Amino acid sequence: MAYGARDLCAQLVGVVAEVTQQRVAEDDDPIGVVVAGRGVALIEAVGAVAAAPYGSAGVLPIAWMYITMLGRDGLRAASEAAILNANYVAHRLAPYYPVLYSGAGGLVAHECILDLRALKETSGIGAEDVAKRLMDYGYHAPTLSFPVPGTLMIEPTESESKAELDGFIEAMIAIREEIRAVEEGRLEREDNPLRNAPHTAAMVCADVWPHGYARELAAYPLARLRACKYWPPVGRADNVYGDRNLICRCLPAKG
């Protein structure tokens, strides 16, 4: 299988090289790469903006092995399961969050996009707050603000069981109730478990608890989390500051 993957990569790179040569020959403004023997030379352009002009060749064997091992029937079954899972999530969460880009009968494809923009106006809670609060429930956040700002794009794929989907749905419904508590004034607009999420074990166990909501709500928003709890390793990070200020913590070079 390793040899097959290598051959596939070589074929794909060959196709890209052939197309590139043709475009360079036909275009007065070359796209920036030509094949010189087996190497790549950059001409009259800024060059690659990523690590390699043709992307990561290491990704290709993964896709090839996945397709090959599943086969035609397996790919169809995986696609059907992914679409079914996405529609199940969309159907269960539609009463709590608007679902964007649904088709006939309210159906979606392999993903569903939850629109949280209106909640920002009514509660001050945004998609990023929900994404970080999901960590307290033990879930990695879905795709944030893509392709629409202020949304969450959920792609359950074919790999998630119904029990796992139900757990995620339960968390999203509980989070909507927390947002409702903010809307109704039962939780403060600025100091609430969503705006301060995620909560680490060190935060919850500290001698001083500076928030107006209970530690229990911060750490165990669902009763089942007491039996199996994932503790986020770090608290709320300032994403904008991190994007604008590079902080390198590299090990010192050995002489």
How far is it, in rounded angstroms, from Cα 201 to Cα 235? 10
- Bridge partners, 41 (sequence order): 34
Q: Which of 52-61, 201-210, 223-232 has the lowest mean pLDDT?
A: 52-61
- Residue 248 — very low, low, confident or very high, per pLDDT cuts 50/70/90? confident
Task: Tell which wins on pLDDT, 27 or 79.
Answer: 79
The pLDDT, as a whole number, for residue 250 is 77
Task: Tell which wins on pLDDT, 38 or 10.
Answer: 10
Together in a domain, 16 and 119 = no
Res. 41: pLDDT tops 90: no
- Bridge partners, 115 (sequence order): 151
Q: What distances in angstroms separate CA 215 from CA 40, 62, 121, 181, 189, one per listed residue? A: 58, 43, 27, 16, 17
Contact (Cβ atoms closer than 8 angstroms) between residue 215 and residue 209 = yes
Res. 28: pLDDT tops 50: no
What one-letter code names the amino acid at 49? V
The pLDDT, as a whole number, for residue 163 is 96
Task: Tell me the average pLDDT across 59-74.
Answer: 90
- Residue 200 — very low, low, confident or very high, per pLDDT cuts 50/70/90? very high
3-state helix, strand and coil shares in percent for the chain, rounded to the nearest 5: 50, 10, 45
Together in a domain, 128 and 185 = yes
Contact (Cβ atoms closer than 8 angstroms) between residue 192 and residue 124 = no
Together in a domain, 38 and 127 = no
The DSSP letter of residue 141 is: -
Per-residue pLDDT reduced to its tens digit, 78-128 = 999 999 999 999 999 999 999 999 998 889 999 999 999 999 999 999 999
Q: Residue for token digits 């290709």?
A: 60
The pLDDT, as a whole number, for residue 104 is 84
The pLDDT, as a whole number, for residue 35 is 43
- The distance of Cα 206 from the centroid of its chain, to the nearest Å, equals 31
Together in a domain, 172 and 217 = yes
Res. 202: pLDDT tops 80: yes
Contact (Cβ atoms closer than 8 angstroms) between residue 193 and residue 174 = no
The pLDDT, as a whole number, for residue 3 is 44
Task: Give the total number of structural domains in the chain.
Answer: 2
Q: Mapping DSSP to helix (H, G, I), strand (E, B) and coil, where does residue 51 land?
A: coil
Together in a domain, 37 and 95 = no
Contact (Cβ atoms closer than 8 angstroms) between residue 205 and residue 218 = no
Q: Residue for token digits 């992307």?
A: 55
The pLDDT, as a whole number, for residue 24 is 47
The pLDDT, as a whole number, for residue 33 is 43
How many C-beta neighbours within 10 Å does residue 93 have?
Answer: 20
* Full residue range of the structural domain in which residue 123 is found: 76-244
Together in a domain, 44 and 145 = no
User: Does 251 reside within a domain?
Assistant: no
- Residue 58 — very low, low, confident or very high, per pLDDT cuts 50/70/90? confident
The pLDDT, as a whole number, for residue 4 is 52
Together in a domain, 87 and 51 = no
Its pTM stands at 0.76
The pLDDT, as a whole number, for residue 254 is 73
Res. 25: pLDDT tops 60: no
How far is it, in rounded angstroms, from Cα 14 to Cα 36? 12
